[in-house]
């Protein structure tokens, strides 16, 4: 094996805070060889980003490296001068981080931002640097580099922005590329193309890549080797295939078991407890408070990273026992809901919602902008005691539809019929619990407020608040806390408790877990399923995550650019016949299994603007199966694939059933 490009040895980093030192990284060692992609996985706050910044010496001033070494091409980066660092940054080591939009200077053209790397490091004349910038844009598969180079960041889609940032990172010809969550926040179809690009670059550029992500499914698709970080310690390292097939450390096993699977059969087993606070770490093994295998030996001393097999190491004293114990994941899946009754509780009848748009006078003068068609002529229903999910990428109108369902918005056209007597029978849980919880108010009073409206007496209210907290698995003494003292998952539980306080018949869940870590996500999803069964309520769940939807919904609707394009029972939507967009969406979901490499269907271009949606079929500008002029001119009719399954496409159902190239080995 060639000598590693990056060799991190026993690195420890801490932040000085008011509550004392925060030991964010402890004794972290890892190597990345030339041409290798090393995946660094871990939940939020585990220290992944801190490691990336430490390598580039770009930490906040409050951070301090307390031990270890970072050897880059044999030289310790911790010792080099600021001048030397400047020559290394951007040229020898480049970093790409999450949210490309904020990583780009908003007032400088894309081409100039890329060319700047060459101006800095090679003193390249502006002309030559500009030409090279275009070549780099071409390298990251941008179709029209000359025009993109002249644009400003806000004129590009998220996926294009991230490509531009990657082009910038490649400009200096680095031997180490650090990618920190480069696809988080992007749509799945866009993510699929960025992942494809990363794999392609590895082949063509030959740099060592440190790929940081919280998403194990993504890591499984891109990495050669994986390291799992937990609360600042590397708990397991090994080749991707081995690690996913047979995780050794109990935490790795927990993470993998918590993931939702596209087959809907495995996973969603939460890890109990939560990450310890870095200011007061437990003695010995940091995972001990959450570990099923814990024994007295575990808390005696911090376990060493032991070699458990060739090239595999784990930080667990009981690894032989762990290995000998079968995993839980395959058994405990949530039973998918079945269609319960056929009395519609909520019905959308040709509902449209347009936002903004100029007034009548401006339109008459021809100077006003057309409205944004967030939802356009959508009809479907949710029955009593049923879970319906809506999936689709950002901007497809799913959130607007959710808000229409609970009357937070009024439709521009059409009708939303709700068959329940009281307005409080419909509730909503938002993606970010912060937006619905008053930060100044304690949890107890927050939960009690809706009960006042229901006319409950003080004593009863206290009892009911305790019951609600228990129902969402929170200790009753949480009632005295303020939202700031709660973790993201706990806040979401409170938001759920609040929605349930009114004993609603219908709840809209708008991306209820997308801001949460996988294990928290698993426990919230289970909680929601359980609560629903006791309440007998219906859910409309809005999500961009197809795997998750597979686990919870009885029926699924797929949206694209304001339109519903397919709706059916969950199993029907996850197999042929499918709408071409559904197929692409499904194929783009990365599988947390390196043995099943992704074969995403490419969608060209980006989602058109909802102000100027394409005529005919809205998907025709990107559809890989487009059949011709008819798609551009005529609106596709709804065709019935089964009594519960409908698809809006010009291709006949029989033919859609035949297209099955996505079948997996």
Partner 1 sequence: MARYALRRLASIALILLLVSAIVFAAIHVLPGNAATLILGEYATPEALRTLEREMGLDRPLLVQYASWVASVVTGDWGVSLAMKQPVATVVGYRLRNSAFLALAALTVVVVVGVPLGTLAALRRGRPLDLAIVTATYVGISIPEFVTGLVLLLVLAGPSVGWFPTSGYVELASGVTAWARHLVLPAMTLTIVLLAHVVRQTRSGLADVLTAPYIRTARLKGASARRIVLRHALRNALLPTITVLALDLGYLMGGIVVVEEVFAYPGMGRLIIYAVQNRDVPLLQMCALVVASVYVLANFAADLAYAWLDPRIRYS
Ligand X SMILES: Nc1ncnc2c1ncn2[C@@H]1O[C@H](COP(=O)(O)OP(=O)(O)OP(=O)(O)O)[C@@H](O)[C@H]1O
* Helix (H) / strand (E) containing 274: none
Site residues for ligand SF4, 592-631, by CB under 6 A, read 617, 619-620, 623, 625-627, 631
Least spacing, CB of residue 470 vs partner 1, in Å: 42
172, 402, 577, 600: which one binds partner 1 (CB under 8 A): 172
> What does 49 interact with, of ligand SF4, Mg ion, partner 1, none (CB < 5 to 8 A by kind)?
Mg ion
Cα separation, 262 vs 586, whole angstroms: 9
Binding mask 47-86 for Mg ion (x = CB under 5 A): --x-------------------------------------
Site residues for ligand SF4, 279-318, by CB under 6 A, read 285, 287-288, 291, 293-294, 298, 303, 316-318
Cα separation, 159 vs 149, whole angstroms: 15
Least spacing, CB of residue 58 vs ligand X, in Å: 11
Cα separation, 512 vs 541, whole angstroms: 8
Site residues for ligand SF4, 507-526, by CB under 6 A, read none
Least spacing, CB of residue 344 vs partner 1, in Å: 43
Binding mask 533-572 for ligand SF4 (x = CB under 6 A): ----------------------------------------
Under the binding rule (CB under 6 A), the answer on residue 580 touching ligand SF4 is: yes
Under the binding rule (CB under 8 A), the answer on residue 149 touching partner 1 is: no
- Examine residue 566 and say whether the peptide bond preceding it is cis (omega within 30 degrees of 0): no
Distance separating the N- and C-terminal Cα atoms of the chain: 32
Q: Which is nearer to ligand X, 95 or 556 (CB)?
A: 95
Cα separation, 292 vs 473, whole angstroms: 19
- Which residue blocks in 223-282 are alpha helix, DSSP H? 240-245, 250-258
Under the binding rule (CB under 6 A), the answer on residue 190 touching ligand SF4 is: no
Stretch that binds Mg ion, among 43-51, 352-360, 454-462, 616-624 (CB under 5 A): 43-51
The phi and psi torsions of 658 (rounded to 5 degrees) equal -75, -30
Least spacing, CB of residue 57 vs ligand X, in Å: 14
> What does 90 interact with, of ligand X, ligand SF4, partner 1, none (CB < 5 to 8 A by kind)?
partner 1
Site residues for partner 1, 100-139, by CB under 8 A, read 102-108, 116-117, 120-121
Cα separation, 26 vs 14, whole angstroms: 8
Nearest to residue 286, comparing CAs of 296, 298, 297? 298
Q: What is the DSSP string of 175-203?
A: SEEEEESTTTTS-HHHHHHHHHHHHHHHH
* Helix (H) / strand (E) containing 362: helix 360-365
Q: Which is nearer to ligand SF4, 56 or 316 (CB)?
A: 316
* Helix (H) / strand (E) containing 344: strand 344-355
Q: Which is nearer to partner 1, 135 or 272 (CB)?
A: 135
Helix (H, G, I), strand (E, B) or coil at 235: strand
Interstrand relation of 506-510 and 387-391 (parallel, antiparallel or unpaired): unpaired
> What does 152 interact with, of ligand SF4, Mg ion, ligand X, none (CB < 5 to 8 A by kind)?
none
Site residues for partner 1, 66-105, by CB under 8 A, read 86-91, 94-95, 97, 99, 102-105
Least spacing, CB of residue 6 vs ligand X, in Å: 17
Cα separation, 499 vs 494, whole angstroms: 9
# residues contacting partner 1 (CB under 8 A): 29
Cα separation, 77 vs 7, whole angstroms: 10
> What does 91 interact with, of ligand X, ligand SF4, Mg ion, none (CB < 5 to 8 A by kind)?
none
Residue 654, both tokens = 């029989």
Under the binding rule (CB under 5 A), the answer on residue 46 touching Mg ion is: no
**Entry field: residues in the chain:** 665
Q: Which is nearer to ligand X, 60 or 663 (CB)?
A: 60
Nearest to residue 312, comparing CAs of 244, 257, 217? 244
Under the binding rule (CB under 8 A), the answer on residue 391 touching partner 1 is: no
Cα separation, 202 vs 197, whole angstroms: 9
The phi and psi torsions of 226 (rounded to 5 degrees) equal -130, 140
Cα separation, 51 vs 213, whole angstroms: 12
Residues binding partner 1 (CB under 8 A): 56, 58, 86-91, 94-95, 97, 99, 102-108, 116-117, 120-121, 152, 154, 165, 168, 172, 367
Residues binding Mg ion (CB under 5 A): 49
Residues binding ligand SF4 (CB under 6 A): 249-250, 285, 287-288, 291, 293-294, 298, 303, 316-318, 580, 617, 619-620, 623, 625-627, 631, 636, 649-651
């Amino acid at each position: 094996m060639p000598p590693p490009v990056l060799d991190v040895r026993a690195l420890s980093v801490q932040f000085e805070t008011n509550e004392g030192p925060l030991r964010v990284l402890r004794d972290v060692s890892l190597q990345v060889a030339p041409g290798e992609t090393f995946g660094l996985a871990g939940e939020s706050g585990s220290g992944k980003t801190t490691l990336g910044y430490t390598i580039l010496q770009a930490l906040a001033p409050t951070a301090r490296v307390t031990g270890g070494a970072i050897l880059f091409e044999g030289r310790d980066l911790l010792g080099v001068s600021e001048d030397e660092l400047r020559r290394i940054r951007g040229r020898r080591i480049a970093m790409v981080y999450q949210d490309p939009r904020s990583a780009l200077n908003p007032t400088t053209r894309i081409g100039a931002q890329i060319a700047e790397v060459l101006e800095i490091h090679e003193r390249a004349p502006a002309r030559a640097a500009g030409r090279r910038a275009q070549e780099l844009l071409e390298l990251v598969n941008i179709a029209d580099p000359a025009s993109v180079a002249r644009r400003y960041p806000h004129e590009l889609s998220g996926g294009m922005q991230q490509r531009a940032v990657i082009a910038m990172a490649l400009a200096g010809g680095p031997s180490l590329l650090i990618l920190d969550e480069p696809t988080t926040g992007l749509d799945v179809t866009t993510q699929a193309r960025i992942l494809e690009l990363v794999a392609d670059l590895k082949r063509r550029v030959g740099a060592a890549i440190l790929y940081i992500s919280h998403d194990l499914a993504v890591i499984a698709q891109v990495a050669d080797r994986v390291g799992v970080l937990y609360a600042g310690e590397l708990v397991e390292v090994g080749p991707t295939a081995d690690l996913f097939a047979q995780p050794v450390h109990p935490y790795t096993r927990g993470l993998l078991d918590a993931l939702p699977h596209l087959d809907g059969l495995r996973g969603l087993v939460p890890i109990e407890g939560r990450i310890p606070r870095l200011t007061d770490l437990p003695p010995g093994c940091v995972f001990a408070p959450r570990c099923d295998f814990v024994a007295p030996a575990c808390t005696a001393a911090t376990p060493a990273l032991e070699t458990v097999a060739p090239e595999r190491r784990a930080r667990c004293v009981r690894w032989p026992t762990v290995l000998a114990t079968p995993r839980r994941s395959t058994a405990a899946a949530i039973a998918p809901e079945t269609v319960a009754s056929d009395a519609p509780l909520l019905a959308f009848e040709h509902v449209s919602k347009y936002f903004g748009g100029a007034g009548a006078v401006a339109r008459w003068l021809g100077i006003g902008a057309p409205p944004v068609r967030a939802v356009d002529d959508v009809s479907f229903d949710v029955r009593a005691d049923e879970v319906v999910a809506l999936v689709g990428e950002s901007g497809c109108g799913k959130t607007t539809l959710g808000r229409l369902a609970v009357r937070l918005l009024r439709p521009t056209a059409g009708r939303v019929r709700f068959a329940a007597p009281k307005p409080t029978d419909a509730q909503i849980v938002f993606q970010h619990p912060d937006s619905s919880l008053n930060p100044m108010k304690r949890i107890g009073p927050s939960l009690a407020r809706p009960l006042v409206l229901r006319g409950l007496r003080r004593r009863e209210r206290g009892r009911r608040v305790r019951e609600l907290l228990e129902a969402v698995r929170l200790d009753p003494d949480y009632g005295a806390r303020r939202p700031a003292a709660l973790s993201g998952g706990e806040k979401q539980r409170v938001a759920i408790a609040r929605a349930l306080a009114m004993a609603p018949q219908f709840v809209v869940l708008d991306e209820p877990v997308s801001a949460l870590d996988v294990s928290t996500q698993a426990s919230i999803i289970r909680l929601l399923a359980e609560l629903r069964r006791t309440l007998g309520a219906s859910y409309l769940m809005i999500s961009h995550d197809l795997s998750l939807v597979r686990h919870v919904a009885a029926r699924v609707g797929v949206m694209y650019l304001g339109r519903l394009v397919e709706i059916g029972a969950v199993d029907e939507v996850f197999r042929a016949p499918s709408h071409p967009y559904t197929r692409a969406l499904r194929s783009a979901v990365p599988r947390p299994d390196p043995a099943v490499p992704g074969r995403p269907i490419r969608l060209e271009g980006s989602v058109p603007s909802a102000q100027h949606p394409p005529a005919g079929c809205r998907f025709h500008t990107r559809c890989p199966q487009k059949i011709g002029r008819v798609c551009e001119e005529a609106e596709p009719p709804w065709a019935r694939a089964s009594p519960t399954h409908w698809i809006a496409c010009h291709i006949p159902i029989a033919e859609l059933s035949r297209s099955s190239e996505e079948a997996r080995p």
